[in-house]
Amino acid sequence: MTRDKNLEIGRLQQEIGNYIGMGADSLVFSYEEHAKSVKLFLTTLSRTHNQSFLFQATEGNDKVDALQQMLDYVKTYKERTSSYTIQWSDRGRNDLETSYFRAKNILEALDKLFYDRDPNSITVFSVMLNPIS
């Protein structure tokens, strides 16, 4: 990868973080490279729960294209998604956690909660569509 491409990747990641309102230490950019495409998984790290959650996944021709797709998403996602509150706990613990997700529907919100974890490791108590503000 060339130096210019790495600089472009860093610039796009910073710009995405600025739109979301989270610093670089709270975002993880993970890439899956396929034969003709790259899939980007952007996860957020919650200091409150010490957990990570899927923010969004995008796909592009390469890393720069996948990041550009993510930047396009974050610029308008609040107008195109709804806000959900999910109450959950780690299985075997009594602490009730509350997390917030933006998603197209309840199933997508739950997918973001369960991303990269064993579905049997947490118990979901409620999923609520938040009022439009």
The pLDDT-based confidence of 22 (bands split at 50, 70, 90) is confident
Structure letter (DSSP) for residue 119: G
Number of domains composing the chain: 2
* Residue of 14, 24, 18 whose CA lies nearest to 44: 24
Q: Which domain holds residue 128?
A: 81-133
Is 92 in the same domain as 59?
no
Is 105 in the same domain as 58?
no
Is 74 in the same domain as 12?
yes
Is 75 in the same domain as 87?
no
Question: How many Å apart are CA 111 and CA 126, to the nearest integer?
Answer: 14
What backbone torsions phi and psi does residue 43 show, to the nearest 5 degrees?
-115, 150
The pLDDT-based confidence of 63 (bands split at 50, 70, 90) is very high
Is 73 in the same domain as 96?
no
Q: What is the pTM (predicted TM-score) of this model? A: 0.88
Is 69 in the same domain as 90?
no
The pLDDT-based confidence of 24 (bands split at 50, 70, 90) is confident
Task: Give the model confidence (pLDDT) of 68-123 as tens digits.
Answer: 999 999 999 999 999 999 999 988 888 899 999 999 999 999 999 999 999 999 99
Question: How many Å apart are CA 54 and CA 56, to the nearest integer?
Answer: 6
- pLDDT of the residue at 89: 93
Is 72 in the same domain as 29?
yes
